């Protein structure tokens, strides 16, 4: 079974950024970091009782999902929205499921693609996989607009594909985005991850617990790494829920020991933490 890496971000992750253009840029940086370090799922969770949380959560979720969607599917998957006004500044992911090839003659049998259903009839569906013409998915009538992963099965006058899952793909295939309604502590209980790591300025220095984390990381099938908000850390968020952070996660760690600034922004902590985990786990293989 492929190990699943999930990160949890608070809905107010861009609350300290006033303009939509800068919010978009910051969310793009976080999505790019998630892809670089092969994150499978990004969970956005409510971290205050503010009525604007849904608006914030929708913005972060929509922009992260837009970024993850292959360019050739975006117009079909997303309606015009004020939230996407500055989507053009989002960085390209350049992941394997964002192929540069847009030509049917360069397709190869066995190649995986993301697709969206265009029309269906009599147990077959025409899907867009990002080449000049739609291709045929036999044996399935998918709802128009549904996004799926497919595998090229036949190349001829008509290109045929079959349904596939992300687990079948030989390389990293992007992340999914989950907008979680439950607060952080309740969300943890619902999902039951094998290993949970919270990042905090007041956590144990990573070097002091690295050996323990690596041991559990190797055995775990699902791992969660969680981050705090610009105005409050995870400890503060969880305290308002009536819990202590150290009691609901496996590790509370500081991945930026001896920081030279008063605060480390969430997007900075995300990059720093995932880089530390990536390097250390690679060295210990």
Mean pLDDT of the chain: 92
Over residues 246-274, mean pLDDT: 91
Q: What is the pLDDT of residue 87?
A: 97
- Maximum average pLDDT range among 32-36, 218-222, 280-284: 32-36
pLDDT digits (tens, 9 = 90+) for 186-219: 999 999 899 999 999 899 999 999 999 989 998 9
Q: What is the pLDDT of residue 283?
A: 52
Beta strand 4-10 pairing with 222-226: parallel
Which pLDDT band, with edges at 50, 70 and 90, does 163 fall under?
A: very high
Domains of the chain (ranges, CATH numbers): 4-94+180-283 (3.40.1280.10), 104-165 (2.40.50.140)
Q: What is the pLDDT of residue 280?
A: 80
pLDDT digits (tens, 9 = 90+) for 255-267: 998 888 878 899 9
Q: Report the range of poorest mean pLDDT among 38-52, 62-76, 179-193, 239-253.
A: 38-52
pLDDT over 60 (residue 98): yes
Output the pTM of the full model. 0.94
pLDDT over 70 (residue 103): yes
pLDDT digits (tens, 9 = 90+) for 62-75: 999 999 999 999 99
């Amino acid at each position: 079974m492929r190990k699943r890496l999930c990160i949890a971000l608070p809905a107010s992750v861009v609350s300290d950024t006033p303009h939509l253009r800068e919010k978009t840029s910051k969310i793009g940086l976080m999505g790019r970091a998630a892809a670089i370090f092969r994150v499978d799922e990004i969970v956005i969770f409510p971290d205050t009782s503010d009525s604007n949380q849904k608006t914030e959560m929708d913005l972060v979720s929509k922009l992260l999902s837009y970024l993850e969607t292959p360019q050739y599917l975006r117009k079909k998957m997303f309606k015009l929205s004020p939230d996407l006004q500055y989507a053009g500044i989002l960085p390209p992911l350049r992941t394997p499921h964002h192929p540069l090839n847009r030509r049917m003659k360069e397709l190869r049998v066995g190649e995986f693609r993301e697709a969206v259903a265009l029309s269906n009839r009599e147990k077959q569906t025409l899907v867009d996989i990002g080449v000049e013409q739609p291709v045929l998915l036999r044996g399935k009538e998918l709802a128009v607009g549904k996004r799926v992963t497919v595998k090229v099965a036949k190349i001829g006058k008509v290109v045929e594909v079959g349904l596939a899952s992300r687990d079948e793909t030989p390389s990293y295939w992007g992340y999914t985005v989950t907008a979680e309604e439950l607060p952080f502590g309740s969300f943890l209980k619902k999902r039951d991850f094998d290993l949970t790591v919270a990042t905090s300025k007041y956590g144990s220095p990573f070097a002091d617990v690295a050996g323990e984390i690596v041991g559990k990381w190797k055995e775990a099938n699902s791992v969660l790494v969680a981050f705090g908000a610009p105005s409050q850390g995870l400890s503060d968020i969880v305290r308002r829920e009536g819990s202590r952070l150290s009691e609901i996660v496996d590790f509370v760690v500081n991945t930026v020991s001896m920081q030279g600034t008063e605060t480390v922004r969430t997007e900075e902590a995300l990059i720093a933490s995932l880089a530390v985990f990536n390097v250390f786990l690679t060295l210990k293989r």
